[in-house]
Amino acid sequence: MLRWRQATVTQRIAETDSATTLVLDVPGWTTHRAGQHVDLRLTAPDGYQATRSYSVASAPARPLAITVQRVDDGEVSPFLADVARPGTAVEVRGPVGGWFVWEPNTTDRVVLLAGGSGIVPLASMLRHRRRLGDPTPFHLVYSARTPDRILYRDELAATTEGEHVVITLTGDDIPPDWDGETGRVDAQTLRRHLPAPSGGLTYVCGPTAFVEAAAASLAVLGYGPTTIRTERFG
């Protein structure tokens, strides 16, 4: 049975103007699987508690880290994204989830489709691959609104052998010097950048509308439903 554990923020990394990665020290924590999430609980001085779930951003066997995208009217994310500092105490419970996970040497290739902060659990998978030097081919298509909303931008640009990373922008004000893809993830975009639907697993994560549209586009391309794993929020 999962139980709540005391945790302390040890590092704060500003990813974008609205997203922050927090590295946590959790006594008794062992490890997690790439793609899992944790529950995080805050307790106010008056005893009021608020709980939210966050995908784990770090690779297994690395210090636990989460990336928090600020929701301006949220109860939890503004505190984590803007206020929490090394030494801040929180509670965590987990890891949670056993379906939306990737294990090395289990599939011929991996396709990752991310919308917005849906990149977080997929980044854990990518980091796990890199940490182990796993040869499994990875194909990532990541949709963000604008360049300043791209999480882990430098890290994603530093591709290693066997990785194919595509970022597409969907906002109205796209800089003239942007030389990547533009427009929402649809069947045409995926056809240009993904391998033929033969074997392997596909992980799709993001807002509900993104996940549903991406899954429908995969079906158009012939990706079987049993090979697609989805996680959505919002």
Amino acid identity, residue 18?
S
- Residue 9 within a domain: yes
- Residue 129 within a domain: yes
Q: Mean of the per-residue pLDDT values for the chain?
A: 95
User: Do 91 and 125 share a structural domain?
Assistant: no
User: Do 85 and 16 share a structural domain?
Assistant: yes
User: Do 122 and 45 share a structural domain?
Assistant: no
* CATH number of the domain within which 134 lies: 3.40.50.80
Angstrom CA distances, 80 to 57, 90, 98, 131, 214, stand at: 15, 10, 26, 27, 30
User: Do 156 and 76 share a structural domain?
Assistant: no
User: Do 205 and 122 share a structural domain?
Assistant: yes
Q: Which of 96, 121, 145 is where one domain is finished?
A: 96
Q: Which domain holds residue 47?
A: 5-96
pLDDT (tens digit per residue) in 98-149: 999 999 988 889 999 999 999 999 999 999 999 999 999 999 999 999 999 9
Q: Which pLDDT belongs to residue 118?
A: 97
User: Do 121 and 216 share a structural domain?
Assistant: yes
One digit per residue, the tens of pLDDT, for the chain of length 234 reads: 789 999 999 999 999 999 999 999 999 998 999 999 999 999 999 999 999 999 999 999 999 999 999 998 999 999 999 999 999 999 999 999 999 999 998 888 999 999 999 999 999 999 999 999 999 999 999 999 999 999 999 999 999 999 999 999 998 888 888 988 999 999 999 999 999 887 899 999 999 999 999 999 999 999 999 999 999 986
User: How many separate domains does the chain show?
Assistant: 2
Q: Which pLDDT belongs to residue 96?
A: 96
Q: Which pLDDT belongs to residue 234?
A: 65
Q: Which of 36, 63, 96 is where one domain is finished?
A: 96
User: Do 223 and 121 share a structural domain?
Assistant: yes
- Residue 103 within a domain: no
Tokens read off for 165:
């990373």
Q: Which pLDDT belongs to residue 196?
A: 87
Beta-sheet strands, E only, within the chain: 5-14, 19-25, 37-43, 49-55, 65-69, 89-96, 110-115, 138-144, 163-169, 181-182, 201-207, 228-233
User: Do 117 and 89 share a structural domain?
Assistant: no
Q: Which of 96, 121, 156 is where one domain is finished?
A: 96
Q: Half-sphere exposure of 81 toward its Cβ, with a 13 Å CA cutoff?
A: 19
| 75 secondary structure, DSSP code | S
- Residue 195 within a domain: yes
User: Do 42 and 79 share a structural domain?
Assistant: yes
- Residue 104 within a domain: no
- Residue 172 within a domain: yes
User: Do 225 and 135 share a structural domain?
Assistant: yes
- Residue 81 within a domain: yes
User: Do 185 and 142 share a structural domain?
Assistant: yes
- Residue 65 within a domain: yes
* CATH number of the domain within which 34 lies: 2.40.30.10
User: Do 187 and 138 share a structural domain?
Assistant: yes
